[in-house]
Every structure is written in C-alpha cells, then in structure tokens.
C-alpha cells in the first residue's frame, strides 16, 4: 500500500468536506504524505475569515453540526497541516473564476497548483475524491 494519499475536494457539503478532512488528518497523523486539492464548490469554504458554513446534505451532517465536540472540517484540515505536514493546494481556475488571490485563502492553504501538476504528483498514491 502506498504511503501517499491524494485527496480531491470538489463538493461543498458538510459531510464530504468532513470526510475529506478526516482522511487527510488521519493520513497525516499516521505519517502518510498527504496532498489535498481544493476545487469547485469546496474552495470557497477556505476563504480567510469567511463565516459561511457548508450546508448539510443529510441527517449525519445535521447531527455533526448539533453535536458538541465534533471537530469542524476546517479544524481537521488545519491539524493535518500542523501535525503531519499535509499540503492543501487550491485550484487556479476556480480562484480566477471567484477572483481570489492566494492572500484571500486561509493560512494553511499552500501554493496555487493546477490539476495537471496535482494529478502528475498523485501518480502511485491512494486517491480519494469528495
């Protein structure tokens, strides 16, 4: 099994962002080389100082929102970076469409990286899409 994990986050729902964050944080904590690619509807939730909350698509999301002690997906992604040196890379096309610069994104988000580079680097890794 590869010790490299590549996560593609493209949806903007609480459950899928949460699962992507859990894969990234657990992978990083166990020593895997983790890279997360943020694109499409996921990227807007990583804008610095944004208070927008990802909507739940089902019962589990609503339960996670209401249950105290469930770490938020942003917190889990931050832990992946801080504890495991995971890389979180934003999609340049979506940044252009949303008129965002790298400075507009949370500090944990790394350099702007195109899909071609991400996929090239992901070769041979375990790939998860959320």
Q: What is the pLDDT of residues 76-117, one digit of tens each?
A: 999 999 988 899 999 999 999 999 999 999 999 999 999 999
Q: How many domains does the chain have?
A: 1
Provide the pLDDT confidence category of residue 1 given band limits of 50, 70 and 90: low
Q: What is the pLDDT of residues 15-31, one digit of tens each?
A: 999 999 999 999 999 99
Residue 113 maps to which CATH number? 3.40.1260.10
Q: In sequence order, what DSSP letters do the residues of the chain get, joined into one string?
A: --SEEEEEE----HHHHHHHHHHHHHHHHTT-EEEEEE-TTTGGGGBTT----PPP-SHHHHHHHHSTTPPPHHHHHHHHHHHH--EEEE-HHHHHHHT--GGGB-TTB-----HHHHHHHHTTSEEEE-
Query: What pLDDT sits at residue 117?
Result: 98
Q: Stretch 40-56: mean pLDDT, rounded?
A: 95
Residue range of the domain that includes 110: 4-129
Residues of the chain with pLDDT > 70: what percent? 98
Q: Which residues pair with 9 in a beta bridge?
A: 38
Q: Stretch 6-12: mean pLDDT, rounded?
A: 97
Query: What pLDDT sits at residue 80?
Result: 97
What is the residue whose two structure tokens read 């589990």? 60
Q: State how far the Cα of 85 lies from the Cα of 50, in Å rounded to an integer.
A: 24
Question: Over 80: is that where the pLDDT of 2 sits?
Answer: no
Q: State how far the Cα of 121 lies from the Cα of 82, in Å rounded to an integer.
A: 21
């Amino acid at each position: 099994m590869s010790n490299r994990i590549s996560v593609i986050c493209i949806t903007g729902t609480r459950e899928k962002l949460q699962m992507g964050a859990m894969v990234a944080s657990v992978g990083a904590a166990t020593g895997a080389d983790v890279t997360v690619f943020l694109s499409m509807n996921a990227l807007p939730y990583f804008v610095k100082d944004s208070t927008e909350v990802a909507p739940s698509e089902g019962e589990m999301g609503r339960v996670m929102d209401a249950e105290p002690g469930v770490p938020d997906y942003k917190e889990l992604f931050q832990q992946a970076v801080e504890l495991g040196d995971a890389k979180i890379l934003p999609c340049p096309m979506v940044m252009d469409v949303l008129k965002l610069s790298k400075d507009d994104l949370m500090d944990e988000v790394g350099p702007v990286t195109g899909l071609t580079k991400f996929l090239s680097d992901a070769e041979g890794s375990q790939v998860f899409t959320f």
